[in-house]
Structure 1
Amino acid sequence: MNIKLNQFFWAVALTLFTMSCSETEPERPLGEYETGILIMNEGAFGSNDGEVYHFDPITGELKADIFEAENQRPFAGLLEDVVLHEERLYLVANTGKVEIVNAGDFRSLGAVSGDLDQPRSIAVVGKKLFISDYGPYDSDFNTPASYIAVVDGLNGGVVKTKIPVSSKPEDLFAYGKYVLVAGSDEGKVEIIDTEKETIFKTLEVPGRPIQFFEMRGDLWIYSIGADEIFFQSFHLDNFTKKIQTGFPIPDATGRIAFGNEDLIYISTSSGWPDYNDAISKFSLYDSRLDINYLSGTGIYGIGYDKNNDKLLLAFSKGFQGNGEVMIYDKNANLQNTLTVGRGPSGFFFY
């Protein structure tokens, strides 16, 4: 899945705090990896060779395998998500661990390993980590024992609690003392009280909810159905549903990116045997809709560089060797092609 947006309420609060202190406290200089773009390479199943690349869109410099380069050991996992909280990056591997690095130099600060099964994403509230996890597969490859793992300490440690949730939790969103959970298998948004470490409320939403995002001051969740996609927003003062809308876009995947001018980009795929992949472009606020904005084969990740107004598509190349990232301008003209790691699947933009 895509790399997460920062929790916007906390980001606003942090910005205000930083502004209030700017007269007395000098700004911390940015580290080597706190500018540009991080490219997430998932890696191949069995090889567990996920890694992160760093790309500077100004100079064009591409640095490979920065976790291994800075820590003198391979990442050794399938990289599922990257989440930033303050000066820490949480690298979530769906092979059962979370690595925590300093955002500036990518050097290890700690980890969560052991007692995780298939982690998907992470949220931070206070000094606690909340990790969505599919849990183990049963004999029919279902995940009836999905959970949110709770860890005390921003630099990781042991799992102290597992909060049972609906099957296949994906994205998480922290708001105040609560964490919202996208329950993709059962069409639910479950809200956890992080102090009590229990589910406070459950909302039914259409489709399979995948990812939270903020737009125009509202919190939304993106869900996919068989022949259409859905967007649901929420009232955060009482955790009720606000606006629901949808688009008749079939074969949507969970890949989504957010461009300038309120534009949203999603990937679609016909799957085996044709693998006709495409990018649709649209807005929640007007009638703009282009179902076949771009097309290709093997699109595995998508992102938008708002600073430079560029759309980035990641191509897995069948997980046979290195993948590629293709960079397009806002008129869908190809500008650059990068050779990256195995199974590129997402991006983090500074």
Structure 2
Amino acid sequence: MKKLNKFFLMLFASSLFLASCSSDDSSPNVSLGQYDNGMFVVNEGNSTVTTSSITFISNSGAVEQDVFRNVNPGAAGLGTYLQPMFFDNTRAFIISGSANKITVVNRYTFEFIATISTNLENPRYGAVANGKAYVTNAGDWMTGADDFLTVINLSDYSTSKATIGVWSEKIIEENNKLYIANGYAYGDATSITVFNPVTNNVETTIQLGFNPNSFEEENGILYVLGSEKLAKINLATNAVVGTPITISAGAKNLNIEDNKIYYTVDTAVYAMAINATVAPSTPLLTYQSQSQDGRMYGFAVNDGKIYIADGGDFASDSKAYIYSTTGSLLRTITVGVGPNGFYFN
């Protein structure tokens, strides 16, 4: 009997030990690298290679300029006229439009991994799907007929091409399909291309009746913004839902955050409920800019804050502004030359 009691006592003690271990499963967050908590600002630069750079702003507010060069002093430069970067789980892909190359780095440490320079001609935007990266290319700029996708095998960075044959700009992945905005500022196409990365072919083209410049998916609906229109596409049917909403001329930079649609017109930011049927007439905020071509050059809404990048004179360091979603200026940050976007890590 004593042996039996001793056995149960040992069993009870063991259960306490196991319970104490399992209750502490939420161990402290382990850092993935120096840049795993914050955002990157892509500074496209100009025709001088040394003017392109990446700025990092940590969640604590610290600012580091020219991150790539700091981490990789011996690596080749990023190239000029940087386009938006994109991510997979562990890597960041930095596109240089004029150098026709993509620099691959670890997204958390920013250590150089590879350079991709084949099957690229004026690369624009990228996304990841089906274990590969897909980058839109503007071709010779004069016609959309030669626009194509660069398909990148992420295991060895080999490339191939897929024909699109219409002006191809911004690209996003949703439910393992790729959606490509046709037109924007460089052509007169008025549609969205749906590309299937499994078959490596265009699946369908959705006609809009206006020139798209930005889009975002939310709950199975693709919201597409043009200069004077906002349309909704049901991704289950690839059909435009209802009649597009009339928006002020010059509208761009569509973002969706917390069931609100944000967009910009000149130096103003507008916000509207995601289910609104009429566009707002009064802006949420405006900011002052002396830039001829760089007003609202970069824009994002994330985690309760609005981020604006001003292109400045495209020759010297410029500014990024952080606002609350009620329109209050929280911070002004000096970044690099021609900041064109924010990317959250």
Match in the other structure for 1:285: 275
Q: Which string of whole-angstrom CA distances, capped at 9 and with x for unpartnered residues, describes residues 299-341 of structure 1?
A: 21112231xx221211111213001011222332222111110
Gaps of 5+ in 1: 1-21, 270-276
Residue 24 of structure 1 deviates from its aligned partner by 12
Amino acid at match of 2:268: A
Q: May I ask how many residue pairs the two structures share in their alignment?
A: 308
1:262 corresponds, among 255, 259, 263, to 259
Residues in 2 aligned to 1:62 and 1:338: alpha-carbon distance in whole angstroms: 8
Alpha-carbon RMSD: 2.7
1:83 CA drift (Å): 1.3
Task: State the one-letter code of the partner of 1:280.
Answer: Y
- Give 1:1-350 correspondences, 5 Å limit: 29-45=31-47, 47=49, 49-58=51-60, 60-72=61-73, 73=75, 74-95=77-98, 96-137=100-141, 141-154=142-155, 156-157=157-158, 159-176=159-176, 178-184=177-183, 185=187, 186-215=189-218, 217-225=219-227, 228-236=228-236, 238-242=237-241, 244-253=243-252, 255-259=253-257, 261-269=258-266, 277-286=267-276, 289-293=280-284, 294-297=286-289, 298=291, 299=295, 300-306=297-303, 309-350=304-345
| Superposition deviation, residue 193 in structure 1 | 2.6
Deviations 1:3-32 (A, max 9, x none): xxxxxxxxxxxxxxxxxxx97999764321
Moved more, 98-107 or 239-248: 239-248
TM-score normalised to structure 1 length:
0.79
Give the superposition deviation at 1:116: 0.9
Report how far residue 78 of structure 1 moved: 1.7
2:283 maps to a residue whose letter is N
Corresponding residue for residue 17 of structure 2? none
Q: Contact between 1:42 and 1:78, CA under 8 Å: does it hold in 2?
A: yes
How high is the TM-score relative to the length of structure 2?
A: 0.80
Q: Which has the higher strand share?
A: 1
CA distance in 1: counterparts of 2:133 and 2:234, whole angstroms: 23
- Residue of structure 1 equivalent to 2:12: none
Larger Rg: 2
Deviations 1:125-183 (A, max 9, x none): 2332211111113xxx34431111122235523x322323312332232433x322221
Summarize the Cα distance change of 1:41–1:155 in structure 2 as closer, same or farther, 3 Å threshold. farther
